[in-house]
């Protein structure tokens, strides 16, 4: 055992320090593409232990890889070398008493998102972040990737929901920025620097999160449409008609629906006719006085009169609402069960969404005739998870995965969008970042990284490579 491993073992004890085969559950990313056996997995129990772990690793030049629920899709929370320590926050799960007057709650970074939802329910409050992996995704990981989810158009990304942070810096110092205020202009907005930094600037240990009153009523509809251009048109109308009550505007395709229905037998199709595209629309209000049902019904009637909506249904119960949402949320699972896939996390201005889907379809078909395209995502903010399955009867993509990814990234960039909407860069998108972002933008990121982490021990190889790290890899 190395001196650093022995010191970490003594510090953390048998529950807090794992090595050898015990590291297996932490070693590989969710898609099983990245990750090697690290020196060990540190599972500290409190902020001081996190600080000590980082300090010990820094003194020995050992890489520190912060890990939350390890549900990311870009390989950003696993080690790429033996001389690395995965720092798991899985033992730091405390959720404080929510403050309804301030609309805030203090949580530890290892708290699971679904557990936070559960803890807030008796208080009539919500943390408005929802995504498919909420049963395993942890708050620190969501902050590190600046997660978005299905309600981002109304409530914002993770950086909009974080009021304050406690962070362990690369030298082991503790920055206490746990202020429960939205307005704090006493200099640079440090808390926002760590949102989306993927653990490259420090380790988030605690956060003050912004809360909202729980909706007292919802109105939900599932709609079938002829194409995504109709979805964009209806979405524009809904944003004007429903305004601040529009809490969800999700889309998916008939390709994805067919895969979900094929592989998940408890799913059923609730409409009379199929469409090429589908919209899941949800309105929500904290007041029982707002006529949400009437607003949504009027909007759908307009959509049918305009020829945008071909079929639809309003959820008449909580169970039916939950089933509508499952049809959207099970899109990734249906495609995973089908076999090989390529996952792309794209954003474009919402008005360009239909253009992107159409042009991307042509690009992919030209590279791989018969390829199956499964776009789904968040129409409200223009985020499309542009996922691909090989042609029927084909096991893979003939080695063109990288070429396809680069073409889609270039198309999104040309439309004023991003090739990394809400999943981050991780290990899988560094080349795309260097290709699709200007040298000035990449240099600014490198300067920040170098200023915070001159020894390049914090999640090396993620986002940017600088200083000592650049010499190691180039």
Same domain, 139 and 193: yes
Same domain, 413 and 444: no
In a domain, 93, yes or no: no
Same domain, 8 and 76: yes
CATH of the domain at 28: 3.30.43.10
Same domain, 397 and 369: yes
In a domain, 98, yes or no: no
Same domain, 321 and 221: yes
CATH of the domain at 291: 3.30.70.2190
**Residue at which a domain ends, from 213, 232, 265:** 213
CATH of the domain at 180: 3.30.465.10
Same domain, 135 and 209: yes
Same domain, 293 and 200: no
CATH of the domain at 362: 3.30.70.2740
Total-model pTM: 0.90
In a domain, 97, yes or no: no
In a domain, 99, yes or no: no
pLDDT tens string for the chain (474 positions)? Answer: 578 999 999 999 999 999 999 999 999 988 888 888 999 999 999 999 999 999 999 999 999 999 998 888 788 889 999 899 999 999 999 999 999 999 999 999 999 999 999 999 999 999 999 988 899 999 999 999 999 988 888 999 999 999 999 999 999 999 999 999 998 988 999 999 999 999 999 999 999 999 999 999 999 999 999 999 999 999 999 999 999 999 999 999 999 999 999 999 999 999 999 999 999 999 999 999 999 999 999 999 999 999 999 999 999 999 999 999 999 999 999 999 999 999 999 999 999 999 999 999 999 999 989 999 999 999 989 999 999 999 988 888 988 888 999 999 999 999 999 988 888 888 888 888 888 889 999 999 999 999 999 999 999 989 887 665 543 333
For residues 46 and 175, give the distance between their C-alpha atoms in angstroms, rounded to a whole number: 14
In a domain, 344, yes or no: yes
For residues 184 and 285, give the distance between their C-alpha atoms in angstroms, rounded to a whole number: 28
Q: How many domains does the chain have?
A: 5
Same domain, 55 and 111: no
In a domain, 96, yes or no: no
Q: Which range of residues forms the domain containing residue 260?
A: 217-330
């Amino acid at each position: 055992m190395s001196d650093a491993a022995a010191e970490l073992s003594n510090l953390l004890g048998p529950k807090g320090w794992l090595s050898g085969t015990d590291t297996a559950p932490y070693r590989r990313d969710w898609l099983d593409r990245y990750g090697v056996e690290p020196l060990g997995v540190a599972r500290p129990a409190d902020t001081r232990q996190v600080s000590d772990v980082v300090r010990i690793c820094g003194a020995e030049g050992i890489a520190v890889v912060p890990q939350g629920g390890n549900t990311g899709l870009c390989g950003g929370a696993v080690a790429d070398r033996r001389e690395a320590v995965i720092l798991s926050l899985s033992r730091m799960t405390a959720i404080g008493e929510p403050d309804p007057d301030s609309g805030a709650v203090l949580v530890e970074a290892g708290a699971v998102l679904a557990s936070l939802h559960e803890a807030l329910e008796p208080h009539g409050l919500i943390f408005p972040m929802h995504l498919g992996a909420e049963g395993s995704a942890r708050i620190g990981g969501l902050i590190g990737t600046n997660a978005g989810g299905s309600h981002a158009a109304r409530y914002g990304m993770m950086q909009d929901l974080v009021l304050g942070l406690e962070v362990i810096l690369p030298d082991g110092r503790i920055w206490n920025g746990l202020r429960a205020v939205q307005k704090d202009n006493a200099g640079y907005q440090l808390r926002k620097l760590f949102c989306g930094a993927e653990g490259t600037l420090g380790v988030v240990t605690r956060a003050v999160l912004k809360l909202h009153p729980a909706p007292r009523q919802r109105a939900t509809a599932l709609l079938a449409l002829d194409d995504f251009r109709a979805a964009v048109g209806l979405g524009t109308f809904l944003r004007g008609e429903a305004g601040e009550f529009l809490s969800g505007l999700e889309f998916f395709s008939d390709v994805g629906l067919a895969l979900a229905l094929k592989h998940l037998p408890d799913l059923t199709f609730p409409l009379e006719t199929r469409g090429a595209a589908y919209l899941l629309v949800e309105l929500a209000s904290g007041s029982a006085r707002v006529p949400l049902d009437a607003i949504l019904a009027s909007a759908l009637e307009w959509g049918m009169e305009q020829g945008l909506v071909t079929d639809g249904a309003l959820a008449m119960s909580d169970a039916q609402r939950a089933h509508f949402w499952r049809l959207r949320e099970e899109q990734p699972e249906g495609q995973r069960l089908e076999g090989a896939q390529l996952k792309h996390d794209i954003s474009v201005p919402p008005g360009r969404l239909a253009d992107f889907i159409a042009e991307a379809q042509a690009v992919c078909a030209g590279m791989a005739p018969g390829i199956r395209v499964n776009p789904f995502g968040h129409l409200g903010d223009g985020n499309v998870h542009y996922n691909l399955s090989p042609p029927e009867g084909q096991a893979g993509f003939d080695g063109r995965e990288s070429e396809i990814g680069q073409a889609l990234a270039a198309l999104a960039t040309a439309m004023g969008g991003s090739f990394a909407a809400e999943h981050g860069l991780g290990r899988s998108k560094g080349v795309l970042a260097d290709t699709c972002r200007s040298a000035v933008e990449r240099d600014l990121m490198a300067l920040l990284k170098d200023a915070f982490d001159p020894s390049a021990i914090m999640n090396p190889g993620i986002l940017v490579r600088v200083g000592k790290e650049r010499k190691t890899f180039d």
